[in-house]
């Protein structure tokens, strides 16, 4: 959209007419109707073009009052100085796509005359419009232009009327205005007029003012600044500012001025409205000084604070600590509301509500939001105050993020511990120093049947331990807090007693944590295990007596005593039948005061008549009450004779023979309860049953012992003869070993003598090696005939003596070659000992000859270990080692070949060689006994 070059001034002049948006006027409507009639068009308009619209002062043929300037035809008309005629809008490139042309109302013809003011600005147009293409005659053009001029005349009259009204209003407002006002020449700065308020306020008379320029009331230092200010504002219609003026009496006052460009008596002038703000400036300076002090103090405070307006939350002030905490810049806080600081608007609303109820608020905890979107926790304190004459809220924040994180972590840990305490299969209770229950876990409530709420006003220990003396014992245990476990009988809600075990932890604040568990089942198990252990102990005692003694009476006496102690009965007896079923008490253990039955012969007719047939079949009985067990009268009378009220009866059965399976009854093992009737436990009857097996063994063993006495005498005679023969054999073997050893020593001496007659070193060396081999064999035989066991040799002494003789044979200086031995207690037969001796002889000789050249010092170690059924022998030296290219299993060396053959064939073992830092031979073979 094209604009006139003087668009700004044009709009300013248009506004001076004050005609836009005024009601329709008859004179303008008559001019528009006349234009439509004379040009014979359905539409005629008197329009004024505003900033964004074309407004119709008068309209013929249309109902709308205005259209957007971007599609108006008048925006093109005001660019012309003469009439604008468009015969066919569809053919005009400016209007071919205009919505007024291509759609309803489909304008085609347009003719408009610009309405040019007396100052030369096009304000709008007088136009006629048709829906069909056409043109105007010359006469119609002339008439339309004349009507346009007539329209301008009426517009000028309207403007003049507005000016006259404004002038009258101006004169009234100017002269009577309570504020100083004046008019000055914009070019010469000469005062043209002043009102009465200016004369009174500044002290100059009106005549004095009219002789002055406005620079005369300025302070000298302000004049250049003021002139530059006027130069910059020269084109502005109005401007405002604050300055300092000087009154006639020399007083400098602060003023606020507002200027407007006006035409005054044909002068290009400015109207100035003045407001004395000296008082306010003084207050402002005081406030500024106060604010400066406030800012210094607030900036020095090391905590974030903010002042926000109460009405809308606008931030009026924030110190640097707050901007640093919230990561704001100074620009970020411009026109920002305090709502932007809070993570949740609900928190702010709740906090303001609490403030409204209490006039101040302290330590309100909430979550805040930084400029970068991150959150942190803080406590806020709020207070109402007046700030710049406005009701405001002072808010001080204290960052508690670290504390909150610690609290959160502690809460998580507490929740974690709570879950552990709730799920752990132990009872846990917290009790204060006065015995009041503070907290329990679910296991405590589940096991004891009590609820935590039931002990809010009562003492938990009184409920769990009703007996005062026992309760004091529990309290003493708790207060000791020795962290050891103690077992107690605890009463549950239904009145039953549970076996529980507790340990206590005493806290620094005097509270006690009790940790307990239900051990009722464990106690039962312990009692059962104890009973089982006692039974087993009894079994071991009887079995030990059987093994240690062949005296049947000792075994029976020990058995009845142990059974009575274990079962806690009044009497225990062993009762033996003879062939005619007449019984005798063979052994008895009875409490003092009860009838003694030992050695009493009992003629029990009940057994003789077959009443005891069930015992023959191995039946055992536990009778709690002899009068209710269905016993025969004769049996009851027999029991009454010995004051029996309840008893346990188990038969003692013996095997007939191994070739003839079956058993016969020997007697009975009986436990009597004389003091009262008694309910027996099943394991007590089983105990007696097991004991009868041991007793049967003892009885049979005693019988066998008697039979063995004769055989033993005969065997002792044979043993004497065998010992004499063995002694003669050992003497003969030792004599043989002694002779063999002497013969080997003779051979060794002959080799020694032979070597002294030879000159060839190699031959001497060979003879010495042979001599060493013979010495090793000879040493075996020497050890054999001096040993207590002529079939086995103590290898430790043998190896040590053999190694020492080799060092002497090779004339090794003492301390030059260190010999270490680490020999387990190993015994070898003759063949293995000879083979081992030869192997050690060869390997040590080889080390002494080759491992330490040039009289080099070194160490040789020999180790012999028992590894299960095998023996491992290790010969090690730290010398120069065997050459890497030497295949020692296939060599011309007699010594190494002899070693390999002895190990693999004679000992039937394995040998390995290690060449790391010297030479190590590891030999492993199976140990053989003399019998093997």
Mean of pLDDT values over 13-41: 92
Residue 271 Cα to chain centre, angstroms: 78
> What gap in Å lies between CA 697 and CA 704, rounded to an integer?
10
Bridge partners of 583? Answer: 577, 602
Backbone angles phi, psi at 424, to 5 degrees: -70, 135
Q: What percent of the chain has pLDDT over 70?
A: 84
Q: Check whether 476 has a pLDDT greater than 60.
A: yes
Residue predicted with more confidence, 197 or 632? 197
Q: What is the pLDDT of residue 932?
A: 43
Q: What is the pLDDT of residue 545?
A: 65
Where does the pLDDT of residue 425 fall: very low under 50, low under 70, confident under 90, or very high at 90 and above?
confident
Q: Check whether 731 has a pLDDT greater than 60.
A: no
Range scoring the smallest mean pLDDT among 620-629, 630-639, 787-796, 914-923: 787-796
Range scoring the smallest mean pLDDT among 525-534, 555-564, 785-794: 785-794
> What gap in Å lies between CA 558 and CA 819, rounded to an integer?
61
Q: What is the pLDDT of residue 336?
A: 83
Characterise 209 by phi-psi region: left (phi > 0), alpha (psi -120 to 50), beta (else).
Answer: alpha
Mean of pLDDT values over 628-632: 84
- Dihedral (C-alpha) 203, 206, 210, 213: value to the nearest 10 degrees? 20
Answer for the pair 803, 779: CB distance below 8 angstroms, yes or no. no
Q: Check whether 733 has a pLDDT greater than 60.
A: no
Q: Check whether 206 has a pLDDT greater than 80.
A: yes
Tokens 């009872």, residue located? 427
Q: Check whether 457 has a pLDDT greater than 70.
A: no
Where does the pLDDT of residue 372 fall: very low under 50, low under 70, confident under 90, or very high at 90 and above?
confident
Please tell me the pTM assigned to this model.
Answer: 0.31
Residue 535 Cα to chain centre, angstroms: 53
Range scoring the smallest mean pLDDT among 87-101, 167-181, 322-336: 167-181
Q: What is the pLDDT of residue 219?
A: 86
Mean of pLDDT values over 814-829: 80
Answer for the pair 674, 657: CB distance below 8 angstroms, yes or no. no
Q: Check whether 548 has a pLDDT greater than 90.
A: no
Supply 749's token pair.
């001496």
Residue 804 Cα to chain centre, angstroms: 69
Answer for the pair 113, 67: CB distance below 8 angstroms, yes or no. no
Answer for the pair 318, 401: CB distance below 8 angstroms, yes or no. no
- DSSP character at residue 183: E
pLDDT (tens digit, 9 = 90+) per residue, 246-305? 999 999 999 888 888 887 777 888 888 898 888 888 877 776 776 666 666 566 667 888
Range scoring the smallest mean pLDDT among 479-488, 651-660, 731-740: 731-740
DSSP secondary structure string for all residues of 779-834: HHHHHHHHSSSTT-EEHHHHHHHHHHHHHHHTTPPTTTEEEEEEE-S-EE-HHHHH
pLDDT (tens digit, 9 = 90+) per residue, 743-767? 666 666 666 666 667 767 777 666 6
Backbone angles phi, psi at 701, to 5 degrees: -65, -40
Where does the pLDDT of residue 552 fall: very low under 50, low under 70, confident under 90, or very high at 90 and above?
confident
Report the relative pairing of strands 84-86 and 109-116 from DSSP bridges. Answer: antiparallel
Q: What is the pLDDT of residue 729?
A: 56
Closest to 126 (Cα-Cα) out of 52, 30, 53: 30
Torsional sign, CA 561, 562, 565, 570 = negative
Helices then strands, each counted (H, E), the chain: 25, 34
> What gap in Å lies between CA 213 and CA 733, rounded to an integer?
160
Where does the pLDDT of residue 666 fall: very low under 50, low under 70, confident under 90, or very high at 90 and above?
confident
The pLDDT mean for the chain works out to 81
> What gap in Å lies between CA 277 and CA 342, rounded to an integer?
40
Supply 26's token pair.
């008859």
Residue predicted with more confidence, 733 or 61? 61
Supply 82's token pair.
């003469």
Where does the pLDDT of residue 930 fall: very low under 50, low under 70, confident under 90, or very high at 90 and above?
very low
> What gap in Å lies between CA 54 and CA 65, rounded to an integer?
9
Q: What is the pLDDT of residue 190?
A: 92
Highest-confidence segment of 88-102, 403-417, 739-753: 88-102
Q: Check whether 794 has a pLDDT greater than 90.
A: no
3-state helix, strand, coil in the chain (%, to 5): 45, 25, 30
Range scoring the smallest mean pLDDT among 470-479, 592-601, 789-798, 829-838: 789-798
Q: Check whether 609 has a pLDDT greater than 60.
A: no
> What gap in Å lies between CA 872 and CA 921, rounded to an integer?
10
Torsional sign, CA 93, 98, 103, 105 = negative
pLDDT (tens digit, 9 = 90+) per residue, 872-928? 989 898 888 888 777 777 776 777 788 888 888 888 889 888 887 788 989 998 887
Where does the pLDDT of residue 18 fall: very low under 50, low under 70, confident under 90, or very high at 90 and above?
confident
Range scoring the smallest mean pLDDT among 127-141, 204-218, 483-497: 483-497
Tell me the C-alpha to C-alpha distance, in Å, between residue 573 and each of 439, 616, 736: 59, 18, 65
Q: Check whether 487 has a pLDDT greater than 70.
A: yes
Q: What is the pLDDT of residue 180?
A: 92
Q: What is the pLDDT of residue 106?
A: 92
Q: Check whether 737 has a pLDDT greater than 60.
A: no
Backbone angles phi, psi at 916, to 5 degrees: -90, 115
Where does the pLDDT of residue 931 fall: very low under 50, low under 70, confident under 90, or very high at 90 and above?
very low
Answer for the pair 305, 294: CB distance below 8 angstroms, yes or no. no
Tell me the C-alpha to C-alpha distance, in Å, between residue 635 and each of 624, 640, 689: 15, 9, 22
> What gap in Å lies between CA 407 and CA 418, rounded to an integer?
16
Residue predicted with more confidence, 80 or 807? 80
Supply 38's token pair.
């004379």
Tell me the C-alpha to C-alpha distance, in Å, between residue 756 and each of 220, 746, 750, 768, 805: 145, 16, 10, 11, 19
- Element holding 646 (H helix, E strand): strand 646-655
Supply 237's token pair.
């219609």
Supply 433's token pair.
């120093």
> What gap in Å lies between CA 908 and CA 827, rounded to an integer?
17
Listed in sequence order, the DSSP H helices in 507-551 are 520-548
> What gap in Å lies between CA 84 and CA 78, rounded to an integer?
9
Task: Kindly give the interhelix angle for 552-567 and 520-548, rounded to the nearest 10 degrees.
Answer: 170
Supply 534's token pair.
């006692």
Answer for the pair 881, 918: CB distance below 8 angstroms, yes or no. yes
Helix/strand/coil (H, E, C) string of 713-777?
HHHHHHHHHHHHHHHHHHHHHHHHHHHHHHHHHHHHHHHHHHHHCCCCHHHHHHHHHHHHHHHHH
Residue predicted with more confidence, 708 or 873? 873
Terminal alpha carbon distance of the chain: 130
Q: Check whether 501 has a pLDDT greater than 60.
A: yes
Mean of pLDDT values over 76-84: 92
Where does the pLDDT of residue 326 fall: very low under 50, low under 70, confident under 90, or very high at 90 and above?
confident
93-110: buried (b, 16+ CB within 10 Å) or exposed (e) per residue? eebeebebbeeeeebbbb
Supply 837's token pair.
């001796």
Q: What percent of the chain has pLDDT over 90?
A: 19
Q: What is the pLDDT of residue 111?
A: 95
> What gap in Å lies between CA 917 and CA 3, rounded to an integer?
109
Residue predicted with more confidence, 142 or 421? 142
Residue 39, exposed/middle/buried by CB under 10 A (0-12, 13-18, 19+)? buried
Q: What is the pLDDT of residue 67?
A: 94
């Amino acid at each position: 959209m094209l604009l006139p070059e003087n668009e700004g001034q044009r709009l300013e002049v248009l506004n001076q007419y004050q005609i836009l948006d005024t009601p329709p006027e008859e004179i303008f409507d008559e001019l528009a109707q006349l234009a439509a009639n004379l040009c014979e068009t359905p539409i005629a308009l008197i329009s004024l073009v505003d900033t964004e619209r074309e407004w119709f002062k008068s309209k013929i043929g249309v109902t709308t009052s205005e259209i957007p300037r971007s599609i108006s035809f008048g925006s093109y008309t005001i660019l012309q100085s003469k009439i604008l005629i468009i015969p066919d809008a569809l053919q005009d490139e400016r209007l071919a796509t205009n919505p007024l042309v291509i759609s309803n109302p489909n304008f085609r013809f347009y003719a408009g005359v610009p309405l040019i003011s007396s100052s030369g600005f096009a304000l709008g147009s007088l136009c006629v419009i048709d829906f069909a293409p056409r043109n105007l005659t010359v006469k119609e053009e002339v008439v339309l232009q004349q009507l346009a001029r007539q329209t301008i005349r009426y517009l000028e009259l309207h403007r003049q009327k507005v000016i006259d009204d404004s002038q009258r209003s101006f004169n009234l407002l100017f002269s009577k205005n309570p504020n100083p006002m004046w008019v000055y020449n914009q070019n010469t700065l000469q005062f043209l007029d002043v009102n009465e308020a200016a004369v009174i306020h500044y002290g100059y008379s009106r005549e004095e003012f009219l002789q002055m320029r406005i620079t005369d009331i300025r302070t000298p230092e302000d004049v250049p600044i003021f002139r530059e200010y006027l130069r910059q504002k020269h084109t502005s219609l109005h401007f405002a500012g604050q300055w300092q003026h000087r009154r006639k009496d020399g007083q400098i006052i602060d003023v606020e001025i507002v200027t407007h460009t006006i035409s005054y008596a044909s002068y290009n002038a400015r109207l100035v409205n003045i407001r004395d703000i000296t008082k306010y400036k003084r207050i402002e300076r005081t406030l500024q000084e106060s604010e400066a002090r406030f800012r210094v103090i607030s900036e020095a405070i090391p905590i974030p604070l903010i002042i926000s307006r109460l009405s809308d939350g606008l931030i009026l002030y924030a110190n640097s600590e707050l901007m640093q905490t919230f990561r704001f810049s100074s620009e970020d806080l411009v026109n920002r509301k305090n709502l932007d600081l809070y993570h949740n608007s609900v928190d702010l609303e709740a906090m303001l509500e609490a403030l409204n109820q209490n006039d101040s608020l302290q330590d309100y905890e909430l979550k805040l939001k930084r400029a970068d979107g991150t959150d942190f926790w803080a406590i806020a304190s709020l207070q109402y105050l007046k700030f710049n004459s406005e009701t405001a809220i002072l808010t001080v924040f204290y960052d508690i993020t670290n504390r909150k994180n610690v609290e959160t972590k502690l809460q998580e840990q507490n929740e974690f511990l709570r879950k552990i305490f709730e799920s752990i299969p132990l009872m846990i209770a917290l009790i204060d120093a006065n015995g009041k229950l503070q907290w329990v876990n679910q296991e405590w409530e589940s096991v004891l049947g009590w609820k935590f709420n039931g002990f809010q006003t009562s003492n938990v220990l009184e409920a769990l331990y009703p007996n005062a003396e026992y309760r004091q014992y529990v309290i003493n245990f708790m207060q000791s807090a020795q962290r050891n476990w103690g077992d107690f009988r605890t009463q549950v809600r239904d009145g039953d007693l549970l076996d529980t075990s507790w340990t206590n932890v005493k806290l620094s604040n005097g509270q006690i944590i009790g940790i307990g568990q239900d051990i009722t089942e464990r106690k039962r198990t312990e009692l059962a295990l104890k009973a089982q252990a006692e039974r087993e102990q009894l079994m071991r005692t009887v079995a030990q007596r059987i093994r240690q003694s062949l005296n049947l009476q000792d075994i029976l006496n020990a058995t009845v005593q142990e059974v009575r102690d274990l079962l806690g009965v009044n009497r225990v007896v062993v009762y033996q039948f003879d062939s005619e079923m007449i019984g005798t008490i063979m052994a008895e253990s009875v409490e003092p005061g009860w009838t003694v039955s030992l050695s009493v012969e009992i003629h029990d007719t009940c057994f003789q008549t077959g009443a005891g047939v069930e015992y023959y079949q191995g039946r055992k009985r536990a009778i709690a009450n002899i009068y209710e067990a269905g016993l025969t009268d004769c049996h009851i009378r027999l029991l009454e004779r010995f004051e029996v009220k309840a008893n346990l009866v188990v038969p003692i059965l013996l095997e007939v023979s191994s070739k003839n399976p079956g058993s016969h009854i020997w007697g009975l093992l009986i436990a009597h309860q004389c003091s009262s009737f008694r309910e027996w436990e099943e394991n007590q009857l089983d105990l007696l049953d097991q004991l009868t097996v041991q007793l049967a063994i003892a009885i049979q063993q005693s019988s066998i012992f008697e039979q063995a006495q004769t055989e033993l005498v005969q065997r002792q005679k044979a043993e004497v003869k065998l010992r004499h023969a063995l002694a003669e054999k050992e003497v003969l073997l030792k004599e043989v070993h002694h002779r063999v050893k002497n013969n080997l020593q003779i051979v060794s001496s002959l080799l020694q003598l032979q070597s002294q007659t030879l000159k060839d070193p190699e031959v001497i060396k060979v003879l010495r090696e042979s001599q060493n081999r013979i010495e090793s064999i000879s040493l075996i035989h020497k050890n054999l005939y001096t040993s207590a066991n002529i079939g086995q040799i103590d290898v430790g002494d043998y190896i040590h003596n053999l190694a020492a003789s080799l060092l002497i044979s090779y004339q090794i200086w003492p301390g030059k070659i260190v010999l270490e031995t680490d020999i387990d207690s190993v015994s070898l037969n003759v063949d293995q000992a000879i083979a081992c001796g030869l192997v050690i002889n060869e390997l040590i000789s080889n080390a002494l000859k080759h491992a330490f050249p040039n009289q080099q010092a070194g160490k040789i170690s020999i180790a012999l270990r028992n590894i299960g059924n095998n023996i491992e022998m290790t010969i090690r030296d730290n010398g120069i080692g065997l050459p890497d290219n030497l295949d020692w299993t296939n060599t011309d060396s007699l010594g190494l070949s002899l070693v390999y053959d002895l190990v693999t064939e004679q000992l039937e073992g394995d040998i390995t060689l290690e060449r790391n830092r010297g030479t190590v031979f590891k030999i492993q073979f199976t140990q053989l006994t003399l019998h093997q």
